[in-house]
A and B are shown apart, each in its own frame.
Chain A
Amino acid sequence: GAVVSQHPSWVICKSGTSVKIECRSLDFQATTMFWYRQFPKQSLMLMATSNEGSKATYEQGVEKDKFLINHASLTLSTLTVTSAHPEDSSFYICSARDQTGDFYEQYFGPGTRLTVT
């Protein structure tokens, strides 16, 4: 099946620094990728949708200047948490849509746990 990887799987950073998370589709091309965040014992909340070669579409309440998304190629999207604060600590999960398959099928990465100290 389609595989999506994320790197790093976990990261600890100091408050005020920026952190970049990568999401890659390993065996398929993804014109659309999605970024979710999940707080402990809660559901996944969609943060933004990124389309290759264009600006990301952010969900209401998500600061686009804080969560920078770049979908530079058909297999890579990055999420940069800028000037991170402890409240940004969360589990970030990306997913990717296989452009050759049913357009509503998404494949999820294993997630990245961010801890801001």
Chain B
Amino acid sequence: SQQGEEDPQALSIQEGENATMNCSYKTSINNLQWYRQNSGRGLVHLILIRSNEREKHSGRLRVTLDTSKKSSSLLITASRAADTASYFCATVVLTGANSKLTFGKGITLSVRP
């Protein structure tokens, strides 16, 4: 079953605008990660935020995590046409000595040039 649910499912913006994507999850997590996937390609890891962190930055990316609301957001600032892709949040739950990475359904981002 899927742990994360992204919102919105699809987002279309103009180049230069900011894109905000949200992810909600159901159970306690160890960390949450965001990935990008270009059409028909593999996954690219964007950023990881641990459960004891509230915000992280990486270049034009800003991720927040609110464990009380069980939600995370990914902000892409000054978007570019090359940011067009599907974005997935993935939660990591620890199970004993192992961990399980579970993906949400994904958000399709289209950036118009």
Count of residues in A whose CB is under 8 Å from the partner chain: 24
> Smallest Cβ distance from A93 to chain B, in angstroms?
6
- Check B94 against A110 for contact (C-beta < 8 Å): no
Within 8 A of B (CB), among A65-117: 91, 93, 95, 103-111, 113
- Check B45 against A108 for contact (C-beta < 8 Å): yes
Within 8 A of B (CB), among A28-76: 32, 34, 36, 41-46, 49
- Check B100 against A43 for contact (C-beta < 8 Å): no
- A43-B106 CB under 8 A given contacts A34-B101, A104-B94: yes
- Check B101 against A43 for contact (C-beta < 8 Å): no
Contact size range, B: 20 to 34
- Check A111 against B42 for contact (C-beta < 8 Å): yes
Q: Which residues of B contact A91 (CB under 8 A)?
A: 40
Q: A41-B108, A43-B104, A46-B100 are in contact. List 20 more A-B contacts (CB 8 A).
A: A6-B42, A34-B101, A42-B105, A43-B88, A43-B105, A43-B106, A44-B103, A46-B102, A49-B98, A91-B40, A93-B42, A93-B43, A103-B97, A104-B101, A105-B48, A106-B101, A108-B42, A110-B42, A111-B41, A111-B42
6 pairs, A vs B, C-beta closer than 8 Å: A43-B105, A43-B106, A45-B103, A103-B98, A111-B42, A113-B40
A interface residues, Cβ below 8 angstroms from B = 6, 32, 34, 36, 41-46, 49, 91, 93, 95, 103-111, 113
B interface residues, Cβ below 8 angstroms from A = 2, 30-31, 35, 40-43, 45, 48, 88, 92, 94, 97-106, 108
